[in-house]
Chain A
Amino acid sequence: MTEPSARRPRPYPTPAPAEVDPPRGAAPGWLLPALAAFVLAVLAVVDVRLALVRADRRHEAHRAGAVGAPLDPQPPDIAAAQRAATASAAQRIPALLSYDYRHLDDYLAQAQTSTTGEYRARLTRLIRTVVAPAAARQRVTTKAELKAVGVISAHADQVQLLVFVDQSTTSTAARTGRVDVGRERVTMVRTGGSWLVADLTAV
């Protein structure tokens, strides 16, 4: 008689349930934690830099106003004077240098309203004694076109400009027309609420 235990097949030996090795060829176990740590570190750095940059930007925007826009690097009154004088000159200078021999009275009146001071008296004399007689005699028509305006200097009540202007002229002496290129130094002064031409000199 055999012992029952001797006949029973021995149970299949099972390994201890301690560890499961990764399959051969799989990534090492430290890789993913390392990657995760790296990603977290990078994101943390990005966050910190972003916060610093934003704070810096807010500070600069507050300090400098709208940086990047065209600037008025002068006190407000001078910046306003510069803008107003330039705008006024852009209208008045072409008109001052344009005339038609058929409307010389209108031209004289308009020239007087656009100018001021000693220059107005001088220009009035020039128009009456030189320009108007010559224009009537030679049937002169001239039209001025503004090409560029630059600010030479600016103060609250006086702005000096460099003006480039072309004058297209027809007359009995130049029936096909002629173009003169001009470079004028123009002084604009504030008189009342208007900016008027106080001097105009070719440079």
Chain B
Amino acid sequence: MGAFPRSWWRAPAALRAGFAIAAAGLAVGGILLSLSIGHYDDAIDQHRRAAQRVEQPDELRADAIDAADRAAVAFLTVSGGTSSPHLEALLSESTPGSRNRLRRQAASFAQALGPGKAVSAGSVSAAGLVSLSPNEAVVAVAAKATVGTGRGSGDERRDYRLTVSLRWSGNQWRVFDLAFVV
């Protein structure tokens, strides 16, 4: 008791409670502030990594175009009316929020191949970088697909124009969106 002046204990109980509550509030506020600074610190780390990537421009550009190429091929490759293992791999490497949408798009593409067309083999003719920032890239992809029945007859070539949007996450470019340019 000696740590406190007697006047503390003579103070009204409400006043003492108020002090205690204020102290607790300060403590909680400090903890919250510390946590928020932790998040801010993470953001700074992301910026630092982005800056490091900017210092390797050719690699950054090549990686983005390569990721978009793989995405286009995986998307346009269909076997037996179902998506290919390429697509499953691509979906597992896409941003979490985009997986369901990409899966639906791929299913629509497979259905739109046309009656009797169950196989599509995609390939890329050319790709160019539309835009690039440390954490996002958009790539234009001119792709083609050989579409057929799977029995080797009646194959036809179809041309596609795509834009593939990428986000940098987990130390790699991940597909965020894929759209046909119509």
Contacts and interface: CB of A to CB of B under 8 A. Distances in A.
Nearest to A20: B6
Say what secondary structure dominates the interface of chain A. Answer: mixed
A147 B4 contact: no
Interface stretch (B46-54, B72-80, B81-89, B111-119): B46-54
Interface in A51-69: 53, 56-57, 60, 63-64, 67-69
Given A53-B44, A147-B161, A67 B140 contact: no
Given A45-B34, A53-B40, A185 B126 contact: yes
A63 B132 CA distance: 19
B126 A203 contact: yes
B92 interface: no
24 contacts: A29-B1, A36-B23, A39-B26, A39-B27, A39-B30, A42-B26, A42-B30, A42-B34, A43-B26, A49-B34, A53-B37, A64-B47, A67-B50, A68-B50, A71-B132, A71-B133, A71-B134, A73-B57, A147-B181, A149-B128, A162-B140, A162-B142, A164-B142, A181-B182
Given A39-B23, A43-B30, A67-B51, A183 B161 contact: yes
A173 interface: no
A12 interface: no
Interface residues of A, number: 49
Contacts of A148: 130, 140, 161, 163, 181
